[in-house]
Amino acid sequence: MTAENPDPAERAQPFRLLPRLDDTNRHFWTSGEDGKLRFLRCQQCGYWLHPPAPRCPSCLSKELDVDAVSGQATLHTFTVNYQPWYPGLDPPYVIAIVELPEQKGLRLTTGITGCAPDKVEIGMPLQVTFVHYEDVWLPFFEPAGS
């Protein structure tokens, strides 16, 4: 992990720990550039992989390729954080696990935006949105239709 930590007076966006990009994860962290969320997908059996792996856990094939998902999700579970962990990332905020409709169990840990924490509900329909920091696009989710 690398840290973006400019002088607070110059900081336009909150401090974030950013992923280190490499050949195994670049497809995921840069996919928001065109607004599409991408995962690895097995070309033999169609299984979606997240996090990335060198083989399909379903059929053990090495024939994996990057493919876009719909960007829709359902809120599986969440917690509201009230602790001020990082400068500029002011609580309360929602840390969530969302499930994508492309495959049962295809889940992503993320944040919820565009919705007050007290309005967040398990099962609510969501859509992906991205926040650009340096050379990554972090996927967040907001209520569908917002």
Judge whether 5 lies within some domain.
no
Q: Answer whether 71's CB lies under 8 Å from 34's CB.
A: no
What does pTM read for this prediction?
A: 0.85
Strand 48-49 relative to strand 64-68: parallel, antiparallel, unpaired?
A: unpaired
Would residue 114 count as lying in a domain?
A: yes
CB within 8 Å of 136: residues ≥ 6 apart: 18, 19, 21, 29, 30
What is the number of domains present in the chain? Answer: 1
Measured distance CA(113)–CA(133) in Å, rounded: 16
Of 11-25, 56-70, 92-106, give the lowest mean pLDDT range: 11-25
User: Each residue of 39-97: pLDDT tens digit?
Assistant: 999 999 999 999 999 999 999 999 999 999 999 999 999 999 999 888 878 899 999 99
Residue 119 lies in a domain: yes
Does the residue 9 lie in any domain? no
State residue 70's pLDDT score.
98
Q: What is the domain extent for residue 125?
A: 19-143
The verdict on residue 24 lying in a domain is: yes
8 within some domain: no
On whether residue 10 sits in a domain, the answer given is: no
Residue 28 lies in a domain: yes
